[in-house]
């Protein structure tokens, strides 16, 4: 009997994943990751004490062993510290990608294998399919829930030990299974936002944590002084609301300069770009050595767009056929061929 650890967040997707794997004959153990200190207030986001309790209730209902694993120290070092560093560098990070590749399918997977487990499973809507001698990472069947974007840092070695039970399913089917088996998550609402910032205010989180000012000038693209801000790390490229200046026309954040503390704003046309540089590119199954046509996403909720990909030794360059809105340094750009994730990297800069 194959032994699998299911990472149970407390939500419906991971609970149904555990249930399905048990029905398929796996020896299933549920694990809930405690990634940060318990917090007060509304428990509408993942990783709260209520979520840990819900995960335990689901495990009891399914009839599997369940444990809470404290990973706060390693999570802080790998995810939170990187999150803060990126914002202070004028970039907008994506902590979910880092958590998936380096905590769930890095640190936790290694721990699981060392304790005799063969697999780690999650409730991601994505698929791992063997094809032509490779393991291919593919989009989930449910396009509206596809989470392959967050998994582009997976590789051939760790995918041998990863299971995504929901990859072939629709969200509506998952909800129906939860209702049929009377799981406590059957009517639970979806978690939103960043798990370690329950109120969603990353600016307050960084300011209280780092005791860092970061105030400076707000300038037009022509260098005209329009006003002042109290922290450049509260802004992100393409932001329109809450800029803090009024000129009688819509303004958008176009550029952030952490070295000077300056935030540059402009018109909507100024936030479009076509050519970008990606660093730390990960090829999921095979490295391409020559330019090729593909599709790319520059954010999870961004529409997928046609592009030409140019692989180089130290970086990957992406040229979109049509200008893309609010290309943001620090975010991930993921490359697709059809349903297959070819790889992805971190947006370093926009060339044009």
CATH of the domain at 119: 3.40.50.620
The C-alpha atoms of residue 219 and residue 228 are separated, in whole angstroms, by 9
| 47 in active site | no
For range 3-15, the mean pLDDT: 96
Same domain, 17 and 131: yes
pLDDT for the residue 14: 96
Domain shared by 144 and 97, yes or no: yes
Q: Reply yes or no on whether the pLDDT at 187 is more than 90.
A: no
pLDDT at 43 over 70: no
Q: Does residue 165 carry a pLDDT above 50? A: yes
**Tens digits of per-residue pLDDT, 215-234?**
999 999 999 999 999 999 99
Q: What angle do CA 47, 82, 325 make, to 5 degrees?
A: 90
What is the pLDDT confidence band of residue 39, given thresholds at 50, 70 and 90?
Answer: low
Please tell me whether residues 330 and 290 are part of one structural domain.
Answer: yes
From the list 36, 46, 195, 307, the catalytic residue is 195
66 belongs to a structural domain: yes
Residue 206 lies in a domain: no
Residue 23 to residue 325: CA distance in whole angstroms: 45
Tell me: do 219 and 314 sit in the same domain. Answer: no
- Residue 208: pLDDT above 90? no
| CATH number of the CATH domain containing 218 | 2.30.30.280
Assigned domain for 202 exists: no
Mean pLDDT of the chain: 93
Q: Are residues 299 and 249 in the same domain?
A: no
In a domain, 305, yes or no: yes
Strand ranges of the sheet holding 225-229, from the earlier edge strand across to the other edge: 225-229, 216-220, 262-266, 252-257
Residue 303 belongs to some domain of the structure: yes
Which among 36, 47, 99, 307 is annotated as catalytic?
A: 99
Ramachandran category for residue 323: left, alpha or beta (phi over 0 → left; psi -120 to 50 → alpha): beta
Residue that terminates a domain, selected from 180, 205, 230? 180
What does the pLDDT read at residue 42?
Answer: 46
CATH code of the domain containing 310: 2.40.30.10
Task: Report the distance separating Cα 68 and Cα 61, nearest Å.
Answer: 17
Full DSSP string of 24-68: TT-EEEEEEEE-S----S---STTSHHHHHHHHHHHHHHT--EEE
What's the domain range around 317? Answer: 271-350
What's the total number of domains in the chain?
Answer: 3
Of the residues 266, 286, 306, the one at which a domain ends: 266
- Residues 84 and 128 occupy one common structural domain: yes
pLDDT value of residue 238: 95
Give the bridge partners for 216, in sequence order: 229
Same domain, 259 and 277: no
The pLDDT confidence band at residue 212, using thresholds 50, 70 and 90, is confident
Residue 50's pLDDT band (cuts 50, 70, 90):
confident
31/248: higher pLDDT: 31
Which of 198, 233, 266 marks a domain boundary?
A: 266
Residues 301 and 258 in one domain: no
Residues 154/167, Cβ–Cβ less than 8 Å: no
Mean pLDDT of 32-60: 77
Does residue 133 form part of some domain?
Answer: yes
Same structural domain, 343 and 222: no
| Statement to judge: residues 59 and 90 lie in one domain | yes
Q: Is residue 124 part of a domain?
A: yes
Residue 196 belongs to some domain of the structure: no
Q: What is the pLDDT of residues 284-305, one digit of tens each?
A: 999 999 999 999 999 998 999 9
pLDDT at 75 over 60: yes
Assess whether 253 and 290 both reside in one domain.
no
CA atoms within 13 A on the CB side of 87: 25
Q: Are residues 257 and 303 in the same domain?
A: no
pLDDT reported for residue 46 = 57
- State yes or no: pLDDT of 338 exceeds 90: yes
Q: Active site includes 195? A: yes
Q: Which helix (H) or strand (E) holds 220?
A: strand 216-220
- What pLDDT is attached to residue 41? 46
Helix (H) or strand (E) holding 341: strand 340-350
């Amino acid at each position: 009997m194959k032994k699998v650890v299911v990472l149970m967040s407390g939500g419906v997707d991971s609970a149904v994943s555990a249930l399905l794997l048990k029905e398929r004959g796996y020896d299933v153990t549920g694990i809930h990751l405690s990634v940060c200190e318990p917090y007060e207030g509304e428990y509408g986001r993942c990783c709260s004490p209520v979520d840990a309790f819900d995960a335990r209730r689901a495990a009891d209902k399914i009839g599997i062993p369940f444990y809470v694993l404290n990973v706060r120290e390693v999570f802080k070092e790998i995810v939170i510290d990187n999150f803060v560093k990126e914002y202070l560098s004028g970039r907008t990070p994506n902590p979910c990608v880092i958590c998936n590749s380096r905590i769930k399918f890095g640190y936790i997977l290694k721990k699981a294998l060392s304790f005799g487990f063969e697999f780690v499973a999650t409730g991601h809507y994505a698929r791992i399919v063997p094809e032509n001698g490779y393991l291919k990472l593919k989009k989930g069947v449910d396009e509206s829930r596809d989470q392959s974007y967050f998994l582009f840092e997976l590789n051939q070695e760790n995918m041998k030990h990863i299971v995504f039970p929901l990859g072939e399913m629709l969200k509506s089917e998952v909800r129906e299974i939860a209702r049929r088996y009377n799981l406590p998550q059957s009517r639970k609402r979806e978690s939103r936002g960043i798990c370690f910032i329950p109120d969603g205010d990353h600016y307050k989180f960084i300011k209280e944590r780092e005791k860092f000012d970061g105030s400076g000038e707000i300038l037009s693209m022509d260098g005209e002084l329009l006003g002042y801000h109290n922290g450049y790390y509260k802004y992100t490229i393409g932001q329109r609301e809450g800029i803090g200046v009024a000129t009688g026309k819509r303004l958008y954040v176009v550029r952030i300069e952490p070295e000077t503390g300056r935030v540059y704003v402009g018109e909507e046309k100024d936030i479009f770009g076509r050519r970008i540089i990606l660093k730390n590119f990960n090829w999921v199954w095979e490295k391409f050595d020559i330019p090729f046509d593909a599709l790319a996403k520059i954010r999870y909720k961004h529409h997928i767009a046609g592009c030409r990909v140019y692989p180089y030794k130290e970086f990957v360059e992406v040229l979109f056929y049509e200008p893309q809105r609010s290309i943001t340094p620090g975010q991930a750009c993921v490359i697709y061929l059809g349903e297959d994730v070819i790889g992805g990297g971190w947006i370093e800069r926009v060339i044009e």
